[in-house]
């Protein structure tokens, strides 16, 4: 059977897909043995949100995760590669309001659709571990964990101005505010003081930063950098200024946070955050009205806008003065929005000569600028540019003449001795605001009792289930959670005293659900706790996590935080959840991210129908290194399909009979095969998946060449090569690979086969290039056997035509042979 035009010999992806999907389902190929017979490895893709069907982005991300899980399985590891859904969240709720339905209907219908598509897409998942965060069996344990956090003081409530989206009627995390607008709906975000739940992630700032050391080299550099900046550790001093009494306002001490205590003599005014309680406290009656109208203006700004250095500086004078503890100078105190209420102490000493924000402010309000560090640059008074660099201290009393670092140390020493300051470390990281005034999320398991205060719902009464009788408009938020309107749900007896009490009506940010799902996967049906401690010991941490860089900060930081808290609770050993991270690129079309508004979206289903699952998967992986974007306009799924057909035909051509002595096969092809296996392992270990495909293509070509040459398809080396092609392709094009495996006469599944062993002797070259030098110049190159003897090499060198010509019949003075690489011929004079 060698004809590729034969009817039964055409590559038909549809029938392959139909044939193998049920076989795999039967065999449960990717269900881990979980019996300790092989080393366990955990591969995880960031689980999807069930918004409609899968799209091209999913197709790329899951193709990458699959390469890892399929490869590790061939390498003999016991691989766990679970799948689940992050199934709470706003879109389901909005859809339900629109359709007068319950969010669960939309959610679970979409999950079913996506699950079917994932199966068609042949992801190597263990389907028995499926988890949905909106299932009561799951959120019961989210609530249970909340209770543990609460007991530890790591979940608390405070009244605080928060970002508020007037359209979605819910609070937003800072990161959900983009250019002052709601990330989801684009409405301008305002501030609203609300009683909200927080997780005390700031208690873990230090460890979140330090433990990144373990991740170096295994996580993308830029993700680590983003996390580092987000945590934002800075070192400096807290310096206390005495505020003079004014009218009926008494004197007061206020600390400021500065990273540059060396510039204390350069402070020419002070600024308090306009929206801090401190501003109201300080302001004199003469200035109160101005402050209040300014505050109204500030409410409309997001934190990000406030930190935008391009913006015109604004502010009002408070009528008060503070005394510089070092110089004794009297400084006016202003209130402004560029100082943030919840960073440092919410108040600063302003050093306009050396801090650009302060300089811009000083120039706007005509405040003095005094240089105290001579950096050799132009005077900021003239240039308008603050000088932040190194230099010697001037105009600074005892600090004069010192360099910056010495002056920082000395200034801290002085204030510390005087009891007016101390060295401090500050973090930019804020506590995590987790409560949302929405319906479709995990209910916060707290009951509010007028006598007992906040009472956690006892563990044995969890889960606090969402009511299932609300529909449509009843789910629409009205400034409070829709749950507040469900009287039969809200009113409950206090678990402690039995009096009438009310449930907390907020639900949790969906980031809470996804901060521990990787722990649930190890024992998804466990009922004694969120996870089986033994299973966690066996499987955690995740060996390879795969997902988009859009989660570089929050999801990853929150998951790291949860893992550390759960570790501290004594429940798990791991302190980091994901030991390696791979960020796949985006799928673009014509240079731009696919989007509805641009109309450049590509429908995944159509691509699969047209080219087949394997060609689409192969194209995704082959297009570029996994971290890079794939531009669908630049790739050729049709080309991938052609290649797959070519590979597939090899297996069709090979003679049947699996009991073959490969060592009798064509050596040149065997060398290509073994080198391909050897190099592919190294490439796969370093996530260079696209190069493995290129190597596989070369192997397919070499195999075809051998068939077409004298050796023919019956050569054992051809069977060996075709088997290796099937195994390699199983990582990228599982249906084709399985069909090849079957044609070669092996039992399914190719994924249950063992990674081919490499014959080291086939990796070494047979020949080598030796060079012949005469008077230091290379005169000839010889292709010689690697193991050539010195005598044979000398003879070969001396008979080379160039050498013969140079010697002109004379016997050389000396011939130095360094077999097998160099022959040095010294001609006779």
Distance of closest approach, residue 687 Cβ to Zn ion, in angstroms: 55
- Alpha-carbon distance 260 to 344, whole Å? 13
E-strand stretches of 200-281: 233-243, 252-258, 269-273
Sign of CA dihedral 141, 143, 149, 151: negative
Tell me which stretch binds Zn ion (CB under 5 A): 2-10, 448-456, 562-570, 718-726: 448-456
Nearer to Zn ion, 297 or 450 (CB): 450
Pairing of strands 432-433, 453-456: unpaired
335 by Cβ neighbours in 10 Å (0-12 / 13-18 / 19+) ranks as buried
CB of 258 to ligand ANZ, least distance (A): 3
Nearer to ligand ANZ, 377 or 568 (CB): 377
Contacting range for Zn ion; rule: CB under 5 A; set: 122-130, 135-143, 492-500, 547-555: 492-500
| Number of other CB atoms surrounding residue 529 within 10 Å | 13
The size of the interface with ligand ANZ (CB under 6 A), counted in residues, is: 18
CB of 343 to ligand ANZ, least distance (A): 4
Query: Which of ligand ANZ, Zn ion, none does residue 317 bind (CB under 5 to 8 Å by kind)?
Result: none
Stretch that binds ligand ANZ, among 6-14, 321-329, 346-354, 668-676 (CB under 6 A): 346-354
Q: How far is the CB of 388 from ligand ANZ (least distance, A)?
A: 6
Contacted entry of ligand ANZ, Zn ion, none for residue 494, CB cut-off 5 to 8 Å set by kind = Zn ion
Residues 6+ apart with CB under 8 A from 682: none
Q: Find the DSSP H helices in 546-611.
A: 554-568, 604-611
Hey, what are 241's tokens?
A: 């200024």
Residues 432 and 514 sit within 8 Å (Cβ to Cβ): no
Applying CB under 5 A, the span of 452-460, 559-567, 622-630, 760-768 interacting with Zn ion comes to 452-460
CB of 261 to ligand ANZ, least distance (A): 8
The residue (of 121 and 338) whose beta carbon lies closer to ligand ANZ is 338
How far is it, in rounded angstroms, from Cα 118 to Cα 126? 12
Q: Which does 716 bind (CB under 5 to 8 A by kind): Zn ion, ligand ANZ, none?
A: none
Among 18, 418, 497, 786, binds Zn ion (CB under 5 A): 497
CA distances from 431 to 158, 174, 199, 573 (A): 11, 11, 6, 25
Q: Quick check: 594 and 601 in contact, CB under 8 A?
A: yes
274, 340, 359, 415: residue in contact with ligand ANZ (rule CB under 6 A)? 340
Residues 255-274 vs ligand ANZ: string with x where CB under 6 A?
--xxxx--x---------x-
The yes or no reply on residue 148 touching ligand ANZ (CB under 6 A) is no
Residue 534 CB contacts under 8 Å (≥ 6 apart), including other chains: none
Among 16, 67, 349, 654, binds ligand ANZ (CB under 6 A): 349
Residues 223-252 within binding reach of ligand ANZ (CB under 6 A): 234
Of 273 and 713, CB closest to ligand ANZ: 273
Nearer to ligand ANZ, 79 or 279 (CB): 279
Q: Which does 234 bind (CB under 5 to 8 A by kind): Zn ion, ligand ANZ, none?
A: ligand ANZ
Pick the closer one to ligand ANZ by CB: 238 or 794.
238
DSSP three-state, residue 128: strand
Tokens for 55, please give them: 């799209």
Min dist CB 514 to ligand ANZ, Å, is: 29
Taking CB under 5 A as the rule, does residue 446 contact Zn ion? no
Build a one-symbol-per-residue string for 684-723: x at contacts with Zn ion by CB under 5 A, - elsewhere.
----------------------------------------
Distance CA 93, CA 95 (A): 5
Q: Are 677 and 670 in contact (CB under 8 A)?
A: no
Task: For residue 681, give the H/E element and its range.
Answer: helix 667-685
Strand, coil or helix: what is 192?
strand
Q: Which does 344 bind (CB under 5 to 8 A by kind): Zn ion, ligand ANZ, none?
A: ligand ANZ
DSSP percent split of the chain into helix, strand, coil, nearest 5: 40, 20, 40
- Residue 431 in contact with ligand ANZ, rule: CB under 6 A: no
Give the whole-angstrom CA distance, residue 759 versus residue 419: 74
Can you give the C-alpha Rg of the chain in angstroms? 35
From ligand ANZ, Zn ion, none, interface partner of 652 (C-beta below 5 to 8 A by class): none
Asked if 339 interacts with ligand ANZ (CB under 6 A), we say yes
494: contact with Zn ion by CB under 5 A: yes
Rounded Cα distance, 693 and 349, in Å: 60
- Which one of 74, 171, 316, 348 is in contact with ligand ANZ (CB under 6 A)? 348
* CA nearest to 751, candidates 80, 24, 74: 74
- Could you give the residue ranges of the DSSP H alpha helices within 686-730? 689-708, 716-729
Could you list the residues that contact Zn ion (CB under 5 A)? 449, 451-452, 494, 496-497
State the residues that interact with ligand ANZ by CB under 6 A.
234, 257-260, 263, 273, 339-340, 343-344, 346, 348-349, 351, 354-355, 426
């Amino acid at each position: 059977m060698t004809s590729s035009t034969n009817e039964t010999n055409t590559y038909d992806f549809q029938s392959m897909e139909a044939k193998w999907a049920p076989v795999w389902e039967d065999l449960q190929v990717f269900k881990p043995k979980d019996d300790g017979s092989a080393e366990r490895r955990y591969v995880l893709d960031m689980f999807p949100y069930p918004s409609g069907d899968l799209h091209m982005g999913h197709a790329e991300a899951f193709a990458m995760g699959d390469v890892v899980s399929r490869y590790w399985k061939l390498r003999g590891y016991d691989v766990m590669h679970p799948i689940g859904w992050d199934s709470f969240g706003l879109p389901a709720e909005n859809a339900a309001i629109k359709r007068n339905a319950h969010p669960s209907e939309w959610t679970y219908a979409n999950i079913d659709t996506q699950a079917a598509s994932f199966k068609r897409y042949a992801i190597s998942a263990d389907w028995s571990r499926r988890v949905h965060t909106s299932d009561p069996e799951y959120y019961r344990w989210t609530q249970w964990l909340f209770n543990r956090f609460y007991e530890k003081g790591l979940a608390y409530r405070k009244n605080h101005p928060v970002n508020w989206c007037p359209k979605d009627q819910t609070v937003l995390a800072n990161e959900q505010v983009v250019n002052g607008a709601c990330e989801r709906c684009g409405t301008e975000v305002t501030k609203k003081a609300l009683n909200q739940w927080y997780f005390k992630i700031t208690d873990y700032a230090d460890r979140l930063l330090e433990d990144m050391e373990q991740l170096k080299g295994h996580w993308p550099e830029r993700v680590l950098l983003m996390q580092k900046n987000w945590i934002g550790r800075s070192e400096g001093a807290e310096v206390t200024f005495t505020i003079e009494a004014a009218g009926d306002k008494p004197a007061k001490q206020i600390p400021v946070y500065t990273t540059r205590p060396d510039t204390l003599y350069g402070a020419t005014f002070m600024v308090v955050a306009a929206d801090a309680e401190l501003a109201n406290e300080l302001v004199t009656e003469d200035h109160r009205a101005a402050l209040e109208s300014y505050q109204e203006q500030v409410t409309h700004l997001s934190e990000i806008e406030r930190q935008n250095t391009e913006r015109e500086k604004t502010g009002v004078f408070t009528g008060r003065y503070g005394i510089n503890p070092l110089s004794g100078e009297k400084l006016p105190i202003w209130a402004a929005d560029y100082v943030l209420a919840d960073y440092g102490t919410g108040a600063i000493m302003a050093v306009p000569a050396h801090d650009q924000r302060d300089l811009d402010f000083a120039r706007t309000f005509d405040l003095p600028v005094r240089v105290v560090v001579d950096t050799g640059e132009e005077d900021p008074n003239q240039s308008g540019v603050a000088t932040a660099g190194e230099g010697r201290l001037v105009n600074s009393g005892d600090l004069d003449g010192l360099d910056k670092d010495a002056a920082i140390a000395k200034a801290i020493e002085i204030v510390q001795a005087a009891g007016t300051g101390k060295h401090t470390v500050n973090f930019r990281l804020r506590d995590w605001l987790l409560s949302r005034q929405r319906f479709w999320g995990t209910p916060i398991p707290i009951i509010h009792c007028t006598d007992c205060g906040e009472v956690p719902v006892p563990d044995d009464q969890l889960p606090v289930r969402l009511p299932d009788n609300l529909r449509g408009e009843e789910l629409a938020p009205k400034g409070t959670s829709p749950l507040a309107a469900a009287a039969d749900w809200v009113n409950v007896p206090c678990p402690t005293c039995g009096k009438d009490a009310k449930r907390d009506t907020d639900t949790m940010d969906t980031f809470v659900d996804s901060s521990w799902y990787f722990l649930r996967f190890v024992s998804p049906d466990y009922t004694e706790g969120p996870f089986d401690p033994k299973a966690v010991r066996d499987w955690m941490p995740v060996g390879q996590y795969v997902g988009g860089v859009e989660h570089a900060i929050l999801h990853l930081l929150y998951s790291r935080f949860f893992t550390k808290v759960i570790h501290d609770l004594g429940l798990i050993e791991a302190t980091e959840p994901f030991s390696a991270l791979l960020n796949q690129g985006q799928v673009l079309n014509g240079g731009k991210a696919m989007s509805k508004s641009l109309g450049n979206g590509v429908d995944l289903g159509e691509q699969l129908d047209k080219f087949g699952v394997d060609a689409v998967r192969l194209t995704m992986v082959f297009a570029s290194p996994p971290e890079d974007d794939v531009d669908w306009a630049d790739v050729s799924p049709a080309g991938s399909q052609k290649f797959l057909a070519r590979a597939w035909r090899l297996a069709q051509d090979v003679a049947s009979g699996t009991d073959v002595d490969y060592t009798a096969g064509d050596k040149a092809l065997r060398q290509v095969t073994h080198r391909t296996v050897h190099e592919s392992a190294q490439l796969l270990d370093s996530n260079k998946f696209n190069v493995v495909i290129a190597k596989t293509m070369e192997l397919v070509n070499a195999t075809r060449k051998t068939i077409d040459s004298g050796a023919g398809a019956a050569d054992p080396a051809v069977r060996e090569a075709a088997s290796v092609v099937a195994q390699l392709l199983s990582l990228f094009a599982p249906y084709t690979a399985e069909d090849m495996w079957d044609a070669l006469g092996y039992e399914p599944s190719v994924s249950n086969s063992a990674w081919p062993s490499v014959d080291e002797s086939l990796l070494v070259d047979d020949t080598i290039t030796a060079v012949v030098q005469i008077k230091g110049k290379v005169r000839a190159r010889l292709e010689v056997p690697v193991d050539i003897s010195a005598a044979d090499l000398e003879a070969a060198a001396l008979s080379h035509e160039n050498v013969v010509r140079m010697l002109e019949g004379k016997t050389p003075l000396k011939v130095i042979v360094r077999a097998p690489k160099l022959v040095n011929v010294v001609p006779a004079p």
